[in-house]
Amino acid sequence: MTTLTREGIRAARRVVVKVGSSSISGENAGKIQTIVEALTVAHGRGTEVVLVSSGAIATGMPFLALDARPSDLATQQAAAAVGQNVLIYRYQDALRPFGIVAGQVLLTAGDLENPTHRSNARRAMERLLGLRILPIVNENDTVATHEIRFGDNDRLAALVAELIGADALVLLSDIECLYTRPPGEPGAIPIDRVAYGDDLHGFEFGSVVVNSVGTGGAATKVSAARVAAASGVGVLVTSADLVSRALDGDAIGTWFDPNPEPGAPSATGPIRTAAGTPLPADTLGR
């Protein structure tokens, strides 16, 4: 079996794309159109596309007269109930000129842990894809509790990619690629490629960031990329503004090689910088 490369995303049979709350809510709500246009191009050349979209709570906040993300579960659930409806409407409105129909799929962590629910979710998404519907997946925030939440939609996207046997997962972020430490710090080096099995524990990706509209951060994307790559899915982390180039297989972002033999012991290899050179040995995890 040929291992998927970043350039191979363009010809991939099935791709999962994940977008975060900050990229599609508030003043960035207009970016839904840009993301949809990129997805429709891939859809038009025959790629089966699944979108994992955060943003239900953030989208619902203005309708509840909230100027900050609520901290209590009940208000989060209320905001999600309102926001999910508006969010799907915005996606479908953007998709309508292209003749593509969206299909909403809401999941909880328990759904992917329960064999029956997991099988049902896989069957539903397979059928949607077979009908050329664009599944839009989100965590079911209205019924999820703190104890059974995914924690962030990067992890949800990785598990969905594994569930449906995707070839590639594109995690859209606020920055073009991952760095060896927070990009604003001195000595931060862009990471172009992570070979499967590379040890990254020496890098400073930062802890989970909680902002006014969502959760996430570089650390969650690295963790999700590792989960997906281990199951044989190639992963690209890049900016939401570059979604079109990402789906075209351009040389952007940080690429995580998929496990060439899912289930087998991992191999190791050098991590490359954006210039294509190995990182200094003292920056590698020990």
As annotated, the binding site includes 18, 54, 141, 153, 173-174
Token pair of 263 as six digits: 């289930």
Q: At what angle do helices 218-230 and 153-163 cross, to 10 degrees?
A: 10
Task: Report whether 190 contacts 177 (CB < 8 A).
Answer: yes
Q: Are 235 and 168 in contact (CB under 8 A)?
A: yes
Q: Which residues are annotated as a binding site for ATP?
A: 18, 173-174
Q: Coil, helix or strand for 238?
A: strand
End-to-end CA distance of the chain: 31
CA angle, corner 176, sides to 251 and 38, nearest 5?
Answer: 70
Find where tokens 């590639």 sit: 168
Cα separation of 214 and 76, whole Å? Answer: 11
List all residues 6 or more positions away from 199 whose beta carbon is below 8 Å from its beta carbon. 268, 284, 285, 286
Instruction: Give the span between the Cα atoms of 286 and 29, in whole angstroms.
Output: 42
Q: Which residues partner with 14 through β-bridges?
A: 48
- Counting Cβ atoms within 10 Å, is residue 84 exposed (0-12), middle (13-18) or buried (19+)? buried
φ, ψ of residue 14 to 5 degrees: the values are: -145, 130
β 134-139/254-256 pair status:
unpaired
Binding residues for substrate: 54, 141, 153
